[in-house]
Amino acid sequence: MIDRFAMAHLFLSVGTVHKIVERVADAVMETQKMIPEYSNDHPKFRDLGERMMAIWKEGVKGMT
């Protein structure tokens, strides 16, 4: 869905869209690695951090 939008409205090639999606997925997964330590340092964030990681994991699966 996002790929069709990017090609139709942003005039990006399929290859460019796939590279961008891959970079976003990589960035999300890299950022996700930081959440457990941040949660340990900020206990009030723990519940939100766990929910974020679960949502991001599902979202990245759908992107790749």
Domain tally, the chain: 1
Q: What pLDDT was estimated at residue 15? A: 94
Q: What pLDDT was estimated at residue 2? A: 82
- What pTM was computed for the model? 0.70
Q: How many angstroms separate the CA atoms of 18 and 12, rounded? A: 10
Domain of residue 55 covers: 2-63
Predicted confidence pLDDT, tens digits, the chain (64 residues): 788 899 999 999 999 999 998 998 899 889 999 999 999 999 999 999 999 999 988 887 766 5
Q: What pLDDT was estimated at residue 57? A: 84
Q: What pLDDT was estimated at residue 37? A: 95
The residues, ordered by sequence, that sit 6+ positions from 32 with a Cβ below 8 Å of its Cβ are: 52, 53, 56, 57
